[in-house]
Amino acid sequence: MAWYDKYNFNAYEKDLADSIQWEKAPAHIAIIMDGNGRWAAQRDLPRIEGHRQGVDTVRDIVKACRHLEVEVLTIYAFSTENWKRPKWEVKFLLELPYKYLQEDLQSLLDNNIKLRISGEAEALPAKAREAISNALDRTANNNGMIFNMAINYGGRPDIVQAARRIAFEAREGQIKLEDIEEKFFANYLQTAGLPDPELVIRTSGELRVSNFLLWQIAYAELYFTPVYWPDFKRMHLLEAIYDYQTRRRRYGGLEEE
């Protein structure tokens, strides 16, 4: 009996799972979920229909990552640049975390998943903030997987807020300039305590990082797929992991013998 037998893998997924060297699988996967609007346009549906479907994908991928024993899954739900979109779309996007947690908090609890937020959540509507703070509390002691939602997140604002807090503490004499090295700095980022993502996946064929986790992805492997986020399934995740573990990560050094 294979470890995946309880997860209803199809023949293709089984094949991928058997080919993956799981000891080389990424501990932290970060995903830029893109292509909801184009998915909807392709079907003559309003953009928000794409976002709605996108939430179903989130649900599936959270579960899949948990089953595959991923330690941290970060998803980019709303960027600091997404405020430029029309008001109605911004409103819809910012309500999604609330709706998601309404429907899925129980499943996070059942699956021993701990919620985490990266980004300035204070800017979210009150309802969403309450749902988030409740979910953070209730999942705080879970240790099966960390599900990190990047909401109102930007890589540059993240670095700037860290620099500002460090400067403040230095001015107050709480820290010395010599304390400020890379590990120290990383502890002021919104991902403090999380390992850096080894694998970044972006759907929809766009080849850019759009201000996502800039510091944290310094040495991440990037994986781009043309699949739109609402169409992204467990098999695509397995494909990305398979691709990732075939790569030679050299970190500027030479190949190990």
Q: Is 112 a catalytic residue?
A: no
CB of 28 to Mg ion, least distance (A): 23
Q: Is 82 a catalytic residue?
A: yes
Q: Is 230 in the site for ligand IPE (CB under 6 A)?
A: no
CB of 34 to Mg ion, least distance (A): 4
Q: Which is nearer to ligand IPE, 118 or 139 (CB)?
A: 118
Window 5-34: residues binding Mg ion (CB under 5 A): 34
Catalytic residue among 34, 36, 148, 158: 34
Size of the site for ligand IPE (CB under 6 A): 18
Q: Give the residue carrying structure tokens 């998943």.
A: 113
Window 29-68: residues binding ligand IPE (CB under 6 A): 32-38
Window 34-63: residues binding Mg ion (CB under 5 A): 34
58/103 Cα distance (integer angstroms): 12
Window 121-140: residues binding ligand IPE (CB under 6 A): none
Q: Is 82 in the site for ligand IPE (CB under 6 A)?
A: yes
Catalytic residue among 36, 82, 148, 152: 82
Q: Is 79 in the site for ligand IPE (CB under 6 A)?
A: yes
Residue nearest to Mg ion (CB): 34
211/159 Cα distance (integer angstroms): 11
Each residue 185-214 as x (binds ligand IPE by CB under 6 A) or -, in order, gives -------------------x-x-x-x----
Q: Enumerate binding residues for ligand IPE (CB under 6 A).
A: 32-38, 76-79, 82, 93, 204, 206, 208, 210, 229
Q: Enumerate binding residues for Mg ion (CB under 5 A).
A: 34
